Chain A
Amino acid sequence: MRVTVIDYKAGNLTSVLKALRHLGAETEVTDGDLALVEKAERIVLPGVGHFAATERLDATGLTPAIRAAIARGVPFLGICVGMQWLYAGSSEAPQQPGLAHFAESCTHFAESKEKVPHVGWNSLEVRKGSRLLAGVEPGEFVYFTHSYKAPVTADTAAVTRYIEPFASSVERGNVMGVQFHPEKSGATGLKILHNFLSWEGKRTGQAKGTE
């Protein structure tokens, strides 16, 4: 299957592309070619770095193109900052709006004696019905590295605890996000990416789950 990977020049895509190809996906990268997004079968928005970098998605016209693709029912996966972008915004860059597919906003971890960024392998409390995290057993770990996080809501697919519970995965219809890095999370991460790649994809409104 073909996956369109969005490059917004924040950090490097190598690891994500490598993992997708390892799973048999054919990948194409765009940093502004809207035609590729219009024809996309599946979209991955990776992301390491600063939320402000998502400004480039607006500047290149990718934001409305992605919004339209999502409305068409194209399976979409946002990783790390790519997940945070699905929300209304982040306190990391308050002037920069997100896609607002999910109404809430991302915030910095609360002050505590714990280290921030949250770096390392942590566990997932997977909620029932998640297609992305199907087959992920309690006690499996994934790799995180982030200082901002999304709140736990009805759309949360998995909760992780660090300083406070936060949404380590979100899922509604064809739109999915993970705060962790599946491309860096060993066999568990590859299983999650495989779930994304093998999900059939239904038109919006017909998707199983909360819609």
Chain B
Amino acid sequence: MITKRIIACLDVHGGRVVKGVQFVDLIDAGDPATQAARHAREGADEIVLLDISATHEGRATLLDTVRRTARELFVPFCVGGGIRTAGDAAQVFEAGADKVSVNSAALNDPMLIDAIGRSFGAQAVVVAIDARRDPQAADPVRDAQVFVQGGRKPAGRRVVEWAREAEDRGAGEILLTSMNSDGMRTGFDCELTAAVSEAVGIPVIASGGAGTVAHFVDVFGRGRADAALAASIFHFGISSARSLKEELAKAGVSVRLPC
């Protein structure tokens, strides 16, 4: 039976893991390679590394970080941040990533999704969507907007429509982050996750807002997520992926255990 994935996410800035609340107020949370290895050892089903600085100057640092992180990692490893061309993606794959996640650059040039998929296969392309609801909107879920530049700028696209287009262009997975809940530990946006998951035929990874085991149960149930991403819940020793999965199993969620 296919299991729900628990994905450990490392936000990386200048070669260090950082954690912020709603993408600001960054705190240092360690070395990426060490953290990734620990998460894999502690039962994470997959590791995502997001370079949130994503500057051209930082490319060499990022590739070095990816290389070091991938060296002893034998679970799927996805890298995002600053991938603007199929050539950027190729460098990241060569450094040891199994998947790349694209965000702003895919919105600027949707053909990027097709291009990476053609060269490396759909399974290697994750389209990351930063979503923000406008509580004033007539239908906050249907009208949820895509944001770019680390959540600073609206992209002028609706979330569900963009997810569909990404699938049509050959994305293998959608990584959906709720900007409203990111870092708040108040729970995932299950309504929006379910809307996207029902609109596409590819797996959806829910992100933003994990704080308790119940939040994960909720997003795998009501939210129809295929995987869920967690960052702050793990970083400071609150819980390991293994203990989270043991609790999920008790709640009837199918997870990879023992791990």
Contact = CB atoms under 8 A, between A and B. Distances in A.
Interface of A: 10-12, 14-15, 18-19, 22, 48-50, 115-123, 139, 141, 143, 145-147, 161-162, 181, 183-187, 189-190
29 contacts: A11-B124, A12-B94, A14-B93, A14-B95, A15-B96, A18-B96, A19-B74, A48-B120, A48-B123, A49-B121, A49-B123, A49-B124, A115-B201, A115-B202, A116-B201, A116-B202, A117-B172, A120-B3, A120-B4, A120-B227, A121-B45, A121-B256, A122-B1, A139-B258, A147-B122, A184-B74, A184-B76, A186-B74, A186-B259
A15 B93 CA distance: 9
Contacts of B1: 122-123, 161
Given A14-B93, A122-B1, A189 B123 contact: no
A114 B172 CA distance: 14
Contact of A12 (B2, B75, B93): B93
Interface string B85-113: 00000000111101000000000000000
Interface of B: 1-5, 40, 45, 70-72, 74-77, 93-96, 98, 120-124, 172-173, 201-203, 226-227, 256, 258-259
B2 A122 contact: yes
Contact of A190 (B40, B74, B123, B258): B74
A18 B98 CA distance: 12
Contact of B94 (A14, A48, A116, A123): A14
Contacts of B123: 48-49, 117, 119, 145-146
Given A48-B123, A115-B202, A18 B3 contact: no
Contacts of B122: 117, 147
Contacts of B121: 10-11, 48-50
